[in-house]
Amino acid sequence: MSLIKAVMFDLDGVIVDTSNHHYLSWKKLCLELGYNLTETGNEFIKGLSREDSFLKIIDMANISFSEEKFKEYLIKKNSYYLNLIGTITPKNILPGVQSLLGYLKKKSVKISLCSSSKNAKLVLKKLDLISFFDFIIDGNDIKMSKPNPEIFLTASKKLKTEPRDCLVFEDSQSGIDAANNAGMIVVGIGNKNKLKNSEYCFPDFLKIPDHLKKHFFNEEI
Ligand code: BG6
Ligand code: MG
């Protein structure tokens, strides 16, 4: 009997390294606006919606724009991003992700994508992963950006699973906070010295399977 009934995956930085593509696109736009967005600054916007990311950048850079310019810059950032992801293929899927998805399918665990990105379906299609997911929720479907728990709570309702029976994989602090706010078990993917409030944290998916099978699926290892 599995302890976990549904697994929710973030996309950027969890399934594929497009968090870097987002960073490079914001960095390019910021340089045009006279602001140097560093990797440290990027940690504050990681996981946020496009709009909230830009609001945070505006705050960090101490600049301001008309609403018209704001929208114009968001379109520009997205065009930089679309250009960068133009060449991604299944080869860009992060190591260990496909075998974990296969394992969860065999276990009949429900799988959801919970991404703040409005480009999530496009990216999943490019990666040829759409068929693994029972439910996909992205930036087009939610009103409140992570760390608000809306995205995870919506997915758990859709999958008819209690939040406490859901496991979330997240690489951003805002995503980890959102999963905790939803009352779910969260596994951080990344540097455990940088990610706070995740009970479990692994540098990547290659280190996870045994731990996951033993602790969340009651398997003897
Ligand atoms: C998240 C990324 O998944 O999606 C953020 O972590 C990004 O960095 C956000 O800003 C929104 O993405 P998009 O594709 O809608 O601009
Ligand atoms: Mg992410």
Question: Are 176 and 74 members of one domain?
Answer: no
Residue 132 falls inside a structural domain:
yes
Q: Read off the CATH number of the domain in which 65 is found.
A: 1.10.150.240
Q: What is the largest CA-CA distance in the chain?
A: 59
pTM: 0.96
* Same-domain status, 100 and 122: yes
As a whole number of angstroms, the distance between CA 101 and CA 165 comes to 17
Q: Domain for residue 220, yes or no?
A: no
pLDDT tens figures, 82-122: 999 999 999 999 999 999 999 999 999 999 999 999 999 99
CA of 12 relative to ligand 2 center, distance in Å: 4
Mean pLDDT value of segment 192-219: 86
3-state secondary structure of 185: strand
Q: Ligand 1: does its nearest atom lie under 6 Å from the Cβ of 50? A: yes
In total, how many domains does the chain have? Answer: 2
Which of the listed residues 28, 50, 137 should we mutate to test ligand 1's pocket, taking the one with most ligand atoms within 8 A of CB? Answer: 50
Last residue of a domain, one of 85, 106, 124: 85
Among 29, 57, 85, identify where a domain stops.
85
CATH for 198: 3.40.50.1000
When pLDDT is averaged across residues 2-22 and rounded to a whole number, the result is 94
| 25: containing domain | 19-85
Q: In angstroms, rounded to a whole number, what is the distance separating the alpha carbons of residues 201 and 63?
A: 35
Q: Cα-flanking dihedrals φ and ψ of residue 130, to 5°?
A: -50, -45
Give the pLDDT confidence score for residue 136 in this predicted structure. 98
